[in-house]
Amino acid sequence: MKTILNLSIVILFSIQVSAQNKIKDYLPLKNEKVTFSKVINIDETLSRDDIYKHAKKWLAYNFETIKYEYRNMNDGDELIARGYFVYKNMYIWETITIKIIQLKYKYEFTDFEIKYTNNNNSALSTVDSPLEKFDDTSSSQELYSEIDKQINNMGKALQKAIINFADDIW
């Protein structure tokens, strides 16, 4: 009997923890914030400086602003940028952080915000909401799926860019 009770508690705890790790079964949560992150190992053909330059170049092509650059030969390098993509009538803003140490880097997309203009009864109002608090049940599942797709595609594009960007000799 005690074994069944312990097993039931473990199952209930597992279900609760699993529910806390994703929002609406789509978007990963870290410290109650939607966060996409991945660590990528690079082979020895690229130096840490190459990874940094390629990541910075990719950010310049794909993001609104580079907010912060940090270069430190002991602790690693860090780039932070803010940008958005458009989905229907919404601007989905996100922050990307790229940390580079040795022959690996980590990217993290976080601080998602949804901005759009709402037209209710001929009155325009601007909605600006953190993604975690956004609640538009009519389109939220579709929106979450699109965010997941867009961010995963950006992560793949970053990986490809870091490996494939050739240094411009001009």
Q: What is the pLDDT of residues 92-136, one digit of tens each?
A: 999 999 999 888 999 999 999 888 876 665 555 566 788 888 776
Q: Output 50 or 127, whichever has higher pLDDT.
A: 50
Residue range 37-54: average pLDDT? Answer: 89
Specify whether the backbone of 134 is left (phi greater than 0), alpha (psi in -120 to 50) or beta.
beta
pLDDT attached to residue 120? 62
| Cβ(131)–Cβ(87) below 8 Å | no
Q: Which of these CATH numbers, 1.10.287.110, 3.30.530.80, 3.40.50.970, 3.40.50.300, describes 29-164?
A: 3.30.530.80
> Does 15 score more than 50 pLDDT?
no
Q: What is the pTM of this model?
A: 0.76
Ranges of each domain in the chain: 29-164
